[in-house]
Amino acid sequence: MTGPARSRRNAQYGLLTSIAGEVGVSLATVSKVVHRRRDVSEATRTRIEALLAERGYVRAWEGDARRRRQILAVFRDLAGPYTLEVVRGIVESAAEMGVHTTVGTTGRRSIAQWLGESGALGAVGVVIVISALAEQDQRRIVDQRLPVVLVDPLNAPSADIPSVGVTNWHGATTAVQHLIELGHRRIGMLAGRSHSLAGAARLHGYRAALAEAGIPYDPAIVRSTDFDYGEALRAAHSILDRRERPSALFAASDAQALGALEAARQLGIAVPRELSVMSFDDTLVAAMASPPLSAVRQPFRELGQEATRVLLHLADGRPPATIRRELATELVVRMSTAPPEVEKHERP
């Protein structure tokens, strides 16, 4: 650190220490106000902000236009097409807002560690994507009023932690209704795990669409897997390699839909002539599949924009207008779905 920079830092430290003494609070409390943390009473915050303004204090990120604010985006992994789309949505949206994004995973660091280290990394807040929050992590976020936004959390978060997702139930009903309108009556599903909020909502949407059409639910042609290719390939095999196999499959993710396509290829089942495959996500791989997948499109860019916007508001001490925000999905029809061939879906 150069001499001028050190002198500036010492002067700022002295100013904050003086304000802490005048207000009768700890230096840590003044630091929280400087960093716009929410766990300070409104009266104390107002008094400290007035003294900061009166004495010409300039926050580092506001005083140096070249220094961008930073957020931390934490994922379970960076393996699947969904994750990569969300990463891109957050990084590009944050960049448009003049914010830098640091991306991490929970492979070697737990969410608790990321929360503890976010400040040291210079992040004003954390976006946590498709992860399960332990009860102690949720308590810490709420009690310390940490700026945190969840994207598609696996478990139901505290009512005080904002989250962003999509209309999973409605998207699933739209997907299955498309298959029903094509004439399919025996529709299987590669569902997500029951503990996943998104997976459960998509399964419920699937069942609701069947019930509305008067089609009985058949658990024999439904399998729950992780949102990945390998498990879905094996599950699709078990559904399709049977005498009364379905004429259509609805997959709860693109990765699962790709597994269904490969299972059909291995079993000699033509898509879409003998089997329609419908997906949920519409990541880049959906259009590149063979055949290209009909899918329910998630608005990944808007997810990134909304998560970043809400997080920056929290970092500035502004509560979100709503704790849970769900963005609309869209049906995209391609070449993997078609009307069923009558009685062609029975295996010998």
Q: What is the CATH number of the domain that holds 182?
A: 3.40.50.2300
The pLDDT of residue 287 is: 96
C-alpha count within 13 angstroms, C-beta hemisphere, residue 70: 12
- Over 50: is that where the pLDDT of 48 sits? yes
Note whether 224 and 257 are same-domain residues: yes
Determine which helix (DSSP H) or strand (DSSP E) holds 105, and give its type and residue range.
strand 99-105
Residue (of 46, 17, 15, 21) closest to 33 by Cα position: 46
Count of structural domains, the chain? 3
Note whether 146 and 81 are same-domain residues: yes
Give 345's pLDDT tier (boundaries 50, 70, 90): very low
Using CA atoms, how far residue 70 sits from 73, 234, 258, in Å, is: 10, 42, 36
Is there a contact between 170 and 145 (Cβ–Cβ < 8 Å)? no
Query: Which are the contacts of 144, defined by CB distance < 8 A and separation ≥ 6?
Result: 37, 39
Note whether 198 and 284 are same-domain residues: yes
Query: Which are the contacts of 120, defined by CB distance < 8 A and separation ≥ 6?
Result: none
Is there a contact between 247 and 276 (Cβ–Cβ < 8 Å)? yes
Note whether 161 and 172 are same-domain residues: no
Do the domain assignments include residue 99? yes
CATH code of the domain containing 12: 1.10.260
Rounded distance between C-alpha atoms, residue 132 and residue 39, angstroms: 24
- Over 70: is that where the pLDDT of 175 sits? yes
Note whether 282 and 187 are same-domain residues: yes
Note whether 135 and 255 are same-domain residues: no
Give 65's pLDDT tier (boundaries 50, 70, 90): very low
Q: Residue 111 burial (CB < 10 Å; 0-12/13-18/19+)?
A: buried
Note whether 175 and 290 are same-domain residues: yes
Rounded distance between C-alpha atoms, residue 245 and residue 235, angstroms: 13
Q: Give me the domain span that covers residue 53.
A: 3-63
Note whether 149 and 249 are same-domain residues: no
For residue range 254-308, list pLDDT tens digits in order: 999 999 999 999 999 999 999 999 999 999 999 999 999 999 999 998 999 999 9
Residue at a domain's end among 279, 298, 317: 298
Is there a contact between 94 and 100 (Cβ–Cβ < 8 Å)? yes
Residue at a domain's end among 27, 43, 63: 63
Tokens 């849970």, located at residue: 324
Bigger pLDDT: 125 or 52? 125
Is there a contact between 93 and 305 (Cβ–Cβ < 8 Å)? yes
Do the domain assignments include residue 177? yes
Q: What is the mean pLDDT of residues 116-137?
A: 88
Note whether 129 and 172 are same-domain residues: no
Two tokens, residue 254:
């693109």
> Rounded to the nearest 5°, which phi and psi values hold at 249?
-130, 130
The pLDDT of residue 56 is: 74
Do the domain assignments include residue 224? yes
Do the domain assignments include residue 347? no
Note whether 97 and 52 are same-domain residues: no
Which residues, listed in sequence order, are joined to residue 325 by a DSSP beta bridge?
Answer: 164
- Over 60: is that where the pLDDT of 121 sits? yes
Q: What percent of the chain has pLDDT over 70?
A: 91
Do the domain assignments include residue 37? yes
Note whether 293 and 177 are same-domain residues: yes
Note whether 234 and 250 are same-domain residues: yes
For residue range 184-198, list pLDDT tens digits in order: 999 999 999 888 899
The pLDDT of residue 347 is: 47
Two tokens, residue 207:
């069942």
Do the domain assignments include residue 341? no
Q: What is the mean pLDDT of residues 233-253?
A: 96
Do the domain assignments include residue 193? yes
Do the domain assignments include residue 344? no
For residue range 55-64, list pLDDT tens digits in order: 777 665 555 4
